[in-house]
Amino acid sequence: MTADTAPAELERRVIFLPLNPADGSVAGNVLAAAGQRVTSCASIEEFCATAESGAGVLVIADDALIGANCQRLSDFLERQPAWSDIPLIVLTTRRREPTAAWRRVAELPWISNAMLLDRPMRTETLLQAVRVALRARDRQYQLRDFVAEREGLLAQRDVLLREVHHRVKNNLQMMQSLIRLTARRAPSDAQRSFADLVARVAALGQLHQQLYASMNFRELDAATYLSDIADQLEAAFGPPEGRATIVKQLQPTMVNLDTALPLGLITTELVTNALRYAYPPGSAGEIRIALVARDGGRELTISDNGIGLAAASSAPVSTGLRLVQALAEQLGGTFALDSGPGVRGVVQFRSHAAAGQPAA
């Protein structure tokens, strides 16, 4: 083999490990006369190393598989890529039963494209077997090229999707800025509505940020997503001194996008309500966010130890709670709200993994 040998030529080579140089010379001359490229090897190590750089079919005498040689060949064949099932022709002495070495090779689970030829044989028999094996190998190369093309297209798609999520995230950040600018000119009694809108848009933006950062565009970890939303809300309501702090108990849960988005908005609504209404000025407490497995599904619980709904009945939270109810139904789940002491909102749902993935 020379440095300038084309890869396509190497991939159609017949790699041969004969019993003796004379056999190799005769078979090599026959195959070469028929237009086949033949590389004859003197040892199993050379045989496998040569095949690593490209081979169309392997031809080996069964007596060359004695001792550790059989394991060396097995190890080489096991390392083949998924698309490859390189044809193997084993030349054996004519007898009623195949040799023990051949049986060991034939029984290997990763070999399904092997052929046994009895010696002595007509040269035309060997030539025909090689031609059949090379046609099978050509189909494997076509599969390899198809897989490579599909992988290239998928990589391009992922780049485009990543760019889309990045642009959407940036546009949502711009929307937040525009809403804040509009809120400055709005009456004071409308400020909370604008703040709620900013928080909802921020939850959407955080979803796209997670997708952009993870390079997984089918699913994400709900625990990480909800934790980031909670951190955003804490920051939006200012320093934790003199008000509630958020405590998280979030089990890792992979969900698809249709599940992640409602969960993010539900968390935004319930945590915002707790931060805003559960603790009057001068009081403080804890807001707990828990995402756990429950009865074959998932349960999201957001609770506080504040004044409860009765004491906060004047707070205009009904719109947000109706939104939470609608989002829970969108998940195919249920929403329940308990009050006293504090408030406890529970959403039970079944998480759905991305297409082709098992449900969490």
- Torsion on CA atoms 211, 212, 218, 220, rounded to nearest 10: -30
The predicted pLDDT at position 3 comes to 46
What is d(CA 92, CA 103) in angstroms, rounded to the nearest whole number? 11
- CB-based contacts of 15: which residues, under 8 Å, 6+ apart? 39, 41, 47, 50, 51, 55, 57, 58, 59
Residue the block writes with tokens 């169309």: 56
Contact 112, 86 (CB under 8 A): no
Show the CA angle centred on residue 73, arms to residues 20 and 64, nearest 5°.
Answer: 20
Neighbouring C-alpha atoms within 13 Å toward the C-beta of 315: 19
- CB-based contacts of 54: which residues, under 8 Å, 6+ apart? 7, 9, 10, 11, 13
DSSP for 278-293?
A: SS-TT---EEEEEEEE
Spell out the domains of the chain, with CATH numbers in brackets.
Answer: 10-147 (3.40.50.2300), 238-360 (3.30.565.10)
The predicted pLDDT at position 355 comes to 40
The predicted pLDDT at position 2 comes to 47
Which amino acid type is present at position 39? T
Please report, for residues 68, 171, 292, the alpha-carbon distance to residue 250 in angstroms, rounded to integers and kept in the order given.
Answer: 53, 29, 7
| Chunked mean pLDDT (size 10), the chain, 360 residues | 64 85 75 86 91 91 80 86 89 61 63 77 85 92 92 82 80 83 82 82 83 78 91 78 82 90 91 86 87 90 85 57 90 88 90 48
The predicted pLDDT at position 354 comes to 45
Which amino acid type is present at position 308? G
Please give the distance of CA 324 from its chain centroid, rounded to a whole number: 31
pTM of the entire predicted model: 0.57
The predicted pLDDT at position 92 comes to 78
Please report, for residues 95, 267, 330, 348, 352, the alpha-carbon distance to residue 356 in angstroms, rounded to integers and kept in the order given.
Answer: 50, 27, 21, 23, 11
